[in-house]
Chain A
Amino acid sequence: MGGISRRRFLEFGAAAVATTVATSKRSHATPNFEGYPEGMGVLVDLTKCIGCRSCEAACNKEHGLPKPEKPFDDLSVFDERGHSGQMRRPDETRYTVVNRYEPTQGGAPVYRKIQCNHCNEPACLTSCFVNAYTKTKEGAVVYNPEVCVGCRMCMTACPFYVPGYSYSSATNPVIVKCNFCYDKRLVNGLPPACVEICPQEALLFGHREELIAIGKARIKAEPDRYIDHIYGEEEVGGTSWMYISSEPFEELGFDTTLQKKPIISNVMGFLGMVPMVLAIWPALFTGFHLLAKKKGGEDGHDSERGEGE
Chain B
Amino acid sequence: MKRYIDKGAKVVDGPRSPVQNRPWTLKEKLLLGFTPKEYLGQAVRNPLNWVAALILLVGLPVILSRFYFGLGFVTHASNDYPWGLFLGFGLFSMVPLSASGFLLGTTVEVFGRHDFEPIERLALLNGLLGYLFAVVYLLADLGQPWRLPYPMVVSWGPAAVLFLVGWHVATYLSVQMAEVSASFFEWQGWPRAKAFIRRIALGLTTAGIILSTLHQGALGALFTYAPGKVHPLWYSEEFQWIFFFCSSIPAGLCMVIVASTIVKKTMAWRCDARFLENLDRITLGLAKGAAMGLVTYATIKLIGLAHDNEWGYLASGFGTLFLAEMTFGVFIPISLFAYAVRHKIVAMARFGALLTVLGIVFNRLNTALFTFNWKLYPELPHIGETIIVVTVFTIYLLVYRFLLYRLPILYQWKAELVPVDEAVPAPKLVKESKTPVGEVTA
Contact = CB atoms under 8 A, between A and B. Distances in A.
B39 interface: no
B225 A123 contact: yes
Interface stretch (A32-40, A57-65, A284-292): A284-292
A106 interface: no
Nearest to B195: A302
Contacts of B213: 277, 281
Interface string B213-247: 11001100110111111000000011011000000
Contact of A270 (B142, B224, B226): B224
B80 A86 contact: yes
Nearest to B144: A150
A26 B141 CA distance: 31
A117 B147 CA distance: 28
B412 A308 contact: yes
B83 A156 contact: yes
A27 B106 CA distance: 34
Instruction: With a 10 A CB-CB cut-off, give which of B108, B110, B221, B376 has the most chain A CB atoms.
Output: B110
Contacts of B217: 270, 273
A218 interface: no
A258 interface: yes
A271 interface: yes
A258 to B, nearest CB: 6
Contact of A127 (B69, B160, B412): B160
Nearest to A149: B147
B289 to A, nearest CB: 15
A292 B26 CA distance: 40
A155 B79 contact: yes
Contacts of A263: 225, 227
Contacts of B113: 292
A151 B162 contact: yes
A131 interface: yes
A158 B407 CA distance: 46
A152 B70 contact: no
B77 A147 contact: no
B414 A308 contact: yes
Interface string B412-437: 11111000000000000000000000
B154 interface: yes
Contacts of B114: 300-301
A149 B412 contact: no
Interface string B105-119: 010111111100100
B159 A27 contact: yes
Interface in B55-90: 67-73, 75, 77-80, 82-83
Contacts of B317: none
Given A149-B148, A306-B416, A155 B157 contact: no
A71 interface: no
Instruction: With a 10 A CB-CB cut-off, give which of B70, B148, B202, B415 has the most chain A CB atoms.
Output: B70
A174 interface: yes
Contacts, number: 219
Contacts of B165: 129
Interface stretch (A46-54, A160-168, A237-245): A160-168
Interface string A296-309: 00011111111111
Contacts of B14: 308
A302 B198 contact: yes
B166 interface: yes
Given A149-B148, A282-B206, A165 B414 contact: no
Chain A: number of interface residues, binned into ranges: 35 or more
A256 to B, nearest CB: 10
Interface string A163-183: 111011111111000000000
A10 interface: no
A172 B109 contact: no
A259 B308 CA distance: 14
B36 interface: no
B202 A270 contact: no
Contacts of A304: 442
B442 A86 contact: no
Contact of A266 (B73, B110, B227): B227
A8 interface: no
A148 B143 contact: yes
Interface string B162-199: 11111000000000000000000010000000000010
A149 B72 contact: no
Contact of B228 (A129, A159, A269): A159
B161 interface: yes
A42 interface: no
A86 B224 contact: no
B151 interface: yes
B403 interface: no
Given A127-B161, A147-B150, 15 more contacts: A84-B377, A123-B225, A128-B160, A147-B154, A149-B144, A149-B147, A156-B225, A269-B237, A269-B238, A270-B218, A273-B217, A285-B106, A292-B112, A301-B108, A306-B439
A-B pairs, top 5 by smallest CB distance, nearest first, are: A150-B143, A84-B377, A167-B72, A167-B77, A170-B70
30 contacts: A91-B79, A127-B162, A129-B165, A129-B166, A130-B154, A132-B155, A149-B142, A149-B143, A149-B147, A163-B79, A167-B70, A167-B71, A174-B143, A255-B228, A263-B227, A266-B237, A270-B217, A270-B240, A271-B164, A273-B217, A277-B210, A281-B210, A285-B205, A288-B110, A292-B111, A301-B108, A301-B198, A303-B438, A305-B412, A306-B413
